[in-house]
Amino acid sequence: MAPVGRWPVPWAAIGRPLRYYHAMSEVRFDDIEALSALVSDRFEACDAVIEITQEMIDQFAELTEDRQWIHVDVQRCAEQSPLGTPIAHGFLVLSLITALTEGTAARITGFGQVINYGADKLRFQRPVPAGSKVHARQRVAHVRKKGIGGSQLTFETEVLVVGEDQPALTYRSIVVFLP
């Protein structure tokens, strides 16, 4: 569990040079003006890279009971799939966004709790083959005051297969920070 008042979780920077900590700006969750300055049309690359293994796909299939052959049948995929290999479930890739976006450009501080409020958009645009590596880029799309002393941020995230220019997944998430 992440320590109260820090997001993304501080272990996102473990093993990184000291300059990483100095480059990361800190913005209080209730400073709407400073948060609004983070809004941009430009995506910022996130550092994390995760390999999507067949074992991960199989475990996700068991957990969700989605055992469609395009995900779990290596032999059939080799024979019948245009990619020749199984592909990750779209929701598996979506579930990795938190890990992929740790260590973003700004650290939001001072809040008591953070809540996933919802999503505006989710698109699975390209397959993610087993054995491929994915990374993300993210931007703050919108900021507004929420309730008494809180803030609501809309993040737009793209997950890409390493080496490809087009996103495999795009997602607009809404997050609320409260005192």
pLDDT of residue 25: 77
SS3 label, residue 42 = coil
pLDDT digit of tens for each residue in the chain (179 aa)?
A: 333 333 343 333 333 333 333 345 789 999 999 999 999 999 999 999 999 999 999 999 999 999 999 999 999 999 999 999 999 999 999 999 999 998 665 688 899 999 999 999 999 999 999 999 999 999 999 999 998 889 999 999 999 999 999 999 999 999 999 99
Contacts from 67-76 at CB under 8 Å and sequence distance 24+? 74/130
The answer to whether 89 touches 71, Cβ cutoff 8 Å, is yes
pTM (whole model) above 0.85: no
pLDDT of residue 57: 98
Contacts from 27-30 at CB under 8 Å and sequence distance 24+? 27/106, 27/107, 27/108, 27/109, 28/108, 28/109, 28/110, 29/108, 29/109, 29/110, 29/111, 29/150, 29/151, 29/177, 29/178, 29/179, 30/110, 30/111, 30/149, 30/150, 30/151, 30/177, 30/179
**CATH code for the structural domain at 6-53+87-178:** 3.10.129.10
Question: Domain map of the chain by residue range?
Answer: 6-53+87-178
The answer to whether 138 touches 43, Cβ cutoff 8 Å, is yes
